[in-house]
A and B are shown apart, each in its own frame.
Chain A
């Protein structure tokens, strides 16, 4: 579930932190920068593992802070393909079942990956698995808060870095304009890191 990622970065220590131990100040800065953030194509950063190399610190003209190049290793949440994980069902929508791991929320089971036959119950807003046994059809509801075991099928990284002033001003009334209510100032929030998983054919709630 977790991997170690080697990274290099230049850490800026402001002058009011000069009294602190360099290692501590650097660890705090790195955690401030990376903890609980998604790095593109790497994963969700959790915490600093260790610092492997500290190069010389420099002070540049015009800025009183010291800049240090640091080689370090960071613990990153990045499940590998086909890994089995256990999570809680957060809710269901037409797009599929949303599962959460506590530390990571953007896990989705698309309808095709649910056991067939499955249908979406509009009234309760829940996916239902109808399975037939010799006795007859049973309906298994994917209730919220239920534990569920799943296998990682795919991961999607989206680069959510801010883009420049976009070309939205060109087509205010075109047919492709965003639906009413979503104006230029409120763009859709996309998850930077999404896991697409499939429910396991055998024994989903056997925990």
Chain B
């Protein structure tokens, strides 16, 4: 076996999540054929990866939001790795942005960081459950 290119492309969590869910569907349809024991490794890694990714923000993304996100990131001049991390993690605080973007103090002003957080929160869908809880709390506070 020969490795031609160990780094041909970077994949976002969403792409891998999509690939694995499609593969899982296809394999379910092929259940009529004997489930060979040789595929146990594939089953294990698929199950674990899906379990991990379903808890990340990528589970709620779709191709349109990803495209929209990348176009909205154009003016900020971020590297590919930084955009990928923002896409995979959906940071909500300035602290998280500072961790993911290198030398953020020099490259981004505070307003730009806030702008980034705003764009990320608007364009990338979050966990609907958590957002329902979060919006319920301020309502409770105003009632009191």
Contact = CB atoms under 8 A, between A and B. Distances in A.
Interface of A: 1-9, 28, 31-32, 35-37, 39, 41-42, 44, 46-47, 49, 71, 73, 75, 77-78, 80, 82-84, 86, 101-103, 151, 200, 202-203, 206
Interface string B15-32: 110011001000000000
Contact of A103 (B6, B12, B23, B52): B52
B49 A32 contact: no
A36 B41 contact: yes
Contacts, number: 109
Interface stretch (B65-73, B81-89, B105-113, B118-126): B81-89
Given A36-B45, A84-B100, A46 B16 contact: yes
Contacts of B100: 84
Contacts of A71: 4
B85 A6 contact: no
Contacts of B39: 28, 31-32, 35
A84 B10 CA distance: 15
A115 to B, nearest CB: 15
B58 to A, nearest CB: 10
A34 B1 CA distance: 11
B45 A5 contact: no
Interface of B: 1-13, 15-16, 19-20, 23, 36, 38-39, 41-42, 44-46, 48-49, 51-52, 56, 81, 85, 88-89, 93, 95, 98-100, 102
B8 A5 contact: yes
A37 B39 CA distance: 12
A201 to B, nearest CB: 9
Contacts of B102: 82
Contacts of A47: 19-20, 23, 42, 45-46
A28 B42 CA distance: 10
Given A4-B8, A7-B3, A7-B4, A103 B99 contact: no
Contact of B49 (A46, A49, A84, A206): A46
Given A84-B85, A203-B95, A7 B20 contact: no
Contacts of B12: 2
Contacts of A44: 45
A32 B99 CA distance: 38
